[in-house]
């Protein structure tokens, strides 16, 4: 399963260290080459000899104990690894990493690593919910570290709650999927155009009509398309997000600008994904100067913007057209109706009143509908994970037709 993949396991000091022993054993059995670094606290629970015997490799724990004089151990280990996993990751190591602290063998190696780093936290439920830890996890997430969420259950401290290190079998499965996915590029050679965020329709130089879209869903879709091998163009309304790596970003403001940008990339696109929350109306007249306050009420006359997706549906040749539907009631019925009216292949329906989803949230809950009758619900999960799952599902559904697009 993991033939010769080089995995560096960083073990920090918590009672869940015993599960890391099992993790290293399972990774080795799956064919991976595994090296282990331990913190001093981890060694209070299990000795390095245990990991050495299971991994059949030297175990590292002292930054100044250079076992091979030809290399600097923490740099060498960092360069060696295809994947680094910190399991269990204590509150302490998470906080150090979030602040760039490198004061032992684990943290110096982590800072020197350019491979993907996965963090599997394990701690008391109240520590996991502590504001500082939440803040540090969020900041590491933004820096590109991946988290394996702890599971819920009985904790060694006697509490029942979230904080248990994920089971070693599950971690091994995630690692196998990761390496499989890294050789799975179903969208290689395809151009995918994604739209994201809100549009702003100006009233005057200081005011506009818009909505609460943060762009998170669309940015996640673009990053997922890029990870599956696509040449990805992201047409983005005004948002406060970092540009996804490896994606061409075109910044627009209004629905009209979004329409022009999408049309200019439509002809040679294989897939178009319209995650943007385009304003349906704009002021009929845009004032050149700031509107002055007057006594009494005021009215602004609005007119319809162009329905970009409907235009794309009417011009469709070989493109796979995927829309989103933001609904507050009767979502599936309205979603199906939009597939028909806009000539779509798929629509991703989200009930934006769901507390786990919709505008601004990091997570979403959706149902994927297709013109061929697919109706697949996806439970609440982060928009990043959801984007991967949605696109992978669509790639599998379209495996026969993708070549012709
Ligand atoms: O950005 P986030 O904060 O992460 O939130 C994500 C989201 C809720 C915005 C996203 O998941 C979502 O639902 N996007 C579509 C929102 C929307 O405009 O839905 P709609 O049902 O009004 O439109 C249906 C489809 O038509 C959408 O694909 C939309 O992009 C498109 N449309 C709508 C109007 C218009 N003038 N032109 C369009 O192309």
State pTM to two decimals.
Answer: 0.66
Planar angle of CA 143, 137, 361, nearest 5 degrees: 85
Element (H, E) at 120: strand 116-121
| Cis peptide bond upstream of 88, omega within 30 | yes
For residue 311, which atom of ligand 1 is closest to its CA?
Answer: 39
The Cα–Cα gap between 213 and 358 comes to 8
The Cα–Cα gap between 359 and 9 comes to 37
For residue 312, which atom of ligand 1 is closest to its CA?
Answer: 39
Task: Name the DSSP class of 301.
Answer: -
Task: Name the DSSP class of 402.
Answer: G
SS3 at position 182: coil
| Binding pocket residue ranges, ligand 1, CB within 6 Å | 197, 213-218, 255, 274-278, 280, 305, 307-309, 323-326, 338, 350, 352, 358-360, 383
Mutating to test ligand 1, I would choose from 261, 275, 307 the residue with most ligand atoms within 8 A of its C-beta, which is 275
Could you tell me the distance, in angstroms and rounded to a whole number, from the CA of residue 268 to the centre of ligand 1?
Answer: 23
Per-residue pLDDT of the chain (405 residues; tens, 9 = 90+): 788 899 999 999 999 999 999 999 999 999 999 999 999 999 999 999 999 999 999 999 999 988 888 999 999 999 999 999 999 999 999 999 999 999 999 999 999 999 999 999 999 999 999 999 999 999 998 888 999 989 887 877 778 888 999 999 999 989 988 887 667 789 999 999 999 999 999 999 999 999 999 999 999 999 999 999 999 999 999 999 988 888 999 999 999 999 999 999 999 999 999 999 999 999 999 999 999 999 999 999 999 999 999 999 999 999 999 999 999 999 999 999 999 999 999 999 999 999 999 999 999 999 999 999 999 999 999 999 999 999 999 999 998 899 889
CA 11 to chain centre: 25
Could you tell me the distance, in angstroms and rounded to a whole number, from the CA of residue 279 to the centre of ligand 1?
Answer: 9
């Amino acid at each position: 399963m993991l033939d010769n993949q080089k995995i560096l396991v960083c073990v920090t000091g918590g009672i869940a260290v015993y599960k890391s022993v099992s993790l290293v054993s399972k990774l080795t059995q799956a064919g991976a080459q595994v090296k282990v670094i331990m913190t001093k606290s981890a060694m209070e629970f299990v000795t390095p000899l245990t990991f050495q015997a299971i991994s059949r490799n030297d175990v590292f724990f002292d930054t100044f104990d250079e076992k091979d004089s030809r290399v600097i151990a923490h740099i060498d280990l960092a360069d060696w690894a295809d994947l680094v996993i910190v399991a269990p990751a204590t509150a302490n190591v998470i906080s150090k990493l979030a602040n760039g602290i490198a004061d032992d063998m684990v943290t110096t190696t982590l800072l020197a690593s350019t491979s993907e780093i996965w963090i599997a936290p394990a701690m008391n439920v109240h520590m996991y919910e502590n504001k500082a830890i939440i803040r540090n996890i969020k900041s590491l997430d933004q820096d590109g570290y991946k988290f394996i969420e702890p599971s819920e259950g009985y904790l060694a401290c006697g509490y029942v709650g979230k904080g248990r290190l994920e089971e070693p079998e599950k971690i091994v499965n995630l690692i196998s999927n990761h390496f499989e996915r890294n050789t799975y590029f179903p969208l290689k050679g395809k151009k995918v155009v994604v739209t994201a965020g809100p549009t702003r329709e100006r009233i005057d130089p200081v005011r506009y009509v818009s909505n609460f879209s943060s762009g998170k869903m669309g940015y996640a879709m673009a990053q997922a398309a890029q990870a599956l091998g696509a040449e990805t163009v992201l047409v983005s309304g005004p948002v406060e997000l970092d540009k996804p790596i490896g994606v061409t970003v075109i910044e627009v403001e209004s629905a009209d600008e979004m329409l022009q940008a999408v049309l200019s990339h439509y002809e040679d696109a294989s897939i178009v994904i319209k995650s943007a929350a385009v304003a349906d109306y704009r002021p009929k007249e845009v004032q050149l100067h700031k509107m002055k306050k007057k006594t009494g009420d005021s009215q602004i006359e609005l007119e319809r913007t162009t329905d970009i997706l409907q235009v794309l549906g009417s011009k469709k040749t070989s493109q796979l057209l995927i829309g989103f539907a933001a609904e507050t009631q009767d979502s599936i019925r309205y979603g199906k109706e939009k597939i028909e009216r806009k000539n779509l292949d798929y629509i991703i329906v989200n009930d934006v009143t769901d507390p786990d989803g919709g505008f601004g949230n990091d997570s979403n809950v959706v149902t994927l509908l297709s013109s061929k009758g697919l109706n697949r619900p996806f439970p609440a999960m982060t928009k990043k994970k959801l984007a991967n799952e949605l696109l992978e599902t669509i790639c599998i559904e379209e495996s026969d037709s993708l070549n012709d697009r």
